[in-house]
Amino acid sequence: MFKSLWSLDPQIKYLNHGAFGATPISVLEYQQKIRKKLEREPAHFFQYEYEILLDQSRNQLAQFLTTEPENLVFVTNATTGVNTVLKSLTFAPDQEILITNHTYNACRNTLEYLVERSGVKINLVCLELPIEASTISERILAQVSPKTKLVMLDHITSPSALIFPLAEIIAQLNQQGIETLIDGAHAPGAIKLNLSALGATYYTGNCHKWLCSPKGAGFLYVVPEKQHLIRPLIISHGANSPRRDRSRFQLEFDWQGTLDPSPYLAVQKSLDFMDSLLPGGWEQLRARNHQLIVQARQILLDTLKLSPPCMEEMLGSMAALPLGRTLGNEQLLQQQLFKEYHLEVPIFPWTDPKTSIVRISAQIYNELEEYIYLAEVLKRLLFPVKLLK
């Protein structure tokens, strides 16, 4: 029923919404209307219409995230947001950035770049699976030291699909005067967010995943007292703008040169569209997806006789299942699932403990039967029945 509202291939069981999201047809049509409007009179659009539409989209996103619009700027994706903050701040060789082994690989590469440039040290907290939320908090806070300048954490981890207990961790770090950078790539739309209450110094997230906005739409949140420190990766006209009607923070980020702004401007459309799908709006949608992923995970656990890596309360709209052994050919298995069984689902290696992981996602266009089929296929491929002689 709902899948027809997307452009997804009806022959493919798409269980990988968490990777790149998927944009509904009506949102893509709205985006195209913006592009046509822009191209009809580009100069007038950028000079007189763009900023009004950008503010409208930002205001609606701010309301959804429970923060003030003045604290938000658009970026292309969460990785851009992480890079923006890390490259704006200054670090010294006697300082540390605390992360975990669940940190997204692209962001870990940015940290390695900083190590080479500034000599700052990486303080790695290893969180082995299975794990409980209380253990995550305890181990992260226990590894904070006087050298810790910044703690960078995922809100929902990409490889392991865990919701980190950020409220407790951030509250303790704020008491110690330690800044936090949160990679919230998977959080908006998967769990309810209140950025004002969360208390993070910096928070970046994607709109193209669970909000189902077009690709190229993300946001960066910065607390007011730190906004003067954060500069965009591209320095442009906003750096010396004489305008006083908005902050330097937004002036710099809102215009970084000519680009296609339609992903940012379509965020408001995707928020409205997803809110309209069920009678209970976003709250019901999040609950529905969470319940589906809980049921789907249990089917896979039972069929493959696996143990859960975390409690159900630590799941949003994704779940990761360690297979208990290393396949060594994860990419080949993923391709086989797609080509032979029409299943789009990621399989990748994990190191703590060393195993292979299958990660499933649940969006409103998914149905329980798809996960039953996946479980049966994986059982057939990974645990073939041995015939008696």
Tens digits of per-residue pLDDT, 64-86? Answer: 999 999 999 999 999 999 999 99
- Locate 126 and state its tokens: 């290893």
Query: Which SS3 state, helix, strand or coil, does residue 75 take?
Result: strand
Q: How far apart are CA 143 and CA 125, in angstroms?
A: 7
Q: Provide the pLDDT for residue 230.
A: 98
Q: How far apart are CA 15 and CA 148, in angstroms?
A: 38
From residue 265, alpha-carbon distances to 52, 166, 254, 274 in Å are 10, 30, 12, 16
Residue 101, judged by CB atoms within 10 A of its CB (0-12, 13-18, 19+), counts as: middle
Total Cβ atoms within 10 A of residue 123? 19
Q: How far apart are CA 92 and CA 136, in angstroms?
A: 27
Query: Which SS3 state, helix, strand or coil, does residue 346 take?
Result: coil
Sheet with strand 121-125: strands edge to edge: 72-75, 218-222, 202-206, 179-184, 148-154, 96-100, 121-125
Q: Provide the pLDDT for residue 328.
A: 87
Q: How far apart are CA 267 and CA 28, in angstroms?
A: 11
pLDDT band at 353 (very low <50, low <70, confident <90, very high): confident
CATH number belonging to domain 279-382:
3.90.1150.10
β 218-222/72-75 pair status: antiparallel
User: Is the C-alpha dihedral spanning 35, 38, 42, 46 positive or negative?
Assistant: negative
Average pLDDT for 54-58? 98
Element (DSSP H or E) covering residue 298: helix 281-304
26-274: which CATH architecture?
3-Layer(aba) Sandwich (3.40)
Percent of the chain whose pLDDT exceeds 90 = 96
Sheet with strand 354-361: strands edge to edge: 318-322, 354-361, 347-351
Nearest 5°: the CA angle 236, 241, 243 is 140
Percent of the chain whose pLDDT exceeds 70 = 99
Domain ranges of the chain: 26-274, 279-382
Q: Which residues contact 228 (CB under 8 A, 6 or more apart)?
A: 248, 249
Nearest 5°: the CA angle 152, 157, 160 is 135
- Rounded to an integer, what is the distance from CA 320 to the centroid of its chain? 15
215: left (phi over 0), alpha (psi -120 to 50) or beta: beta
Is it the case that residue 125 has pLDDT exceeding 90?
Answer: yes
Is it the case that residue 389 has pLDDT exceeding 60?
Answer: no
Q: Provide the pLDDT for residue 385.
A: 61
Q: How far apart are CA 251 and CA 241, in angstroms?
A: 8
Amino acid letter for position 225: E
Is it the case that residue 386 has pLDDT exceeding 60?
Answer: no
From residue 172, alpha-carbon distances to 142, 207, 215, 224, 364 in Å are 11, 29, 35, 20, 36
Q: How far apart are CA 64 and CA 67, in angstroms?
A: 8
- pLDDT, averaged across the chain: 97
- Rounded to an integer, what is the distance from CA 114 to the centroid of its chain? 22
Average pLDDT for 275-299? 98
* pLDDT, tens only, 87-122: 999 999 999 999 999 999 999 999 999 999 999 999
Q: Provide the pLDDT for residue 297.
A: 98
The DSSP secondary structure of 76-105, one letter per residue, reads: S-HHHHHHHHHHHS---TT-EEEEETTS-H
Is it the case that residue 203 has pLDDT exceeding 50?
Answer: yes
Element (DSSP H or E) covering residue 357: strand 354-361
Q: How far apart are CA 273 and CA 292, in angstroms?
A: 20
Query: Which is higher by pLDDT, 27 or 1?
Result: 27
Rounded to a whole number of angstroms, the CA Rg of the chain reads 22
Cβ 33 vs Cβ 39: under 8 Å:
no
Closest to 323 (Cα-Cα) out of 342, 336, 307, 312: 307
pTM exceeding the 0.85 threshold for the entire prediction:
yes
Q: Provide the pLDDT for residue 1.
A: 82
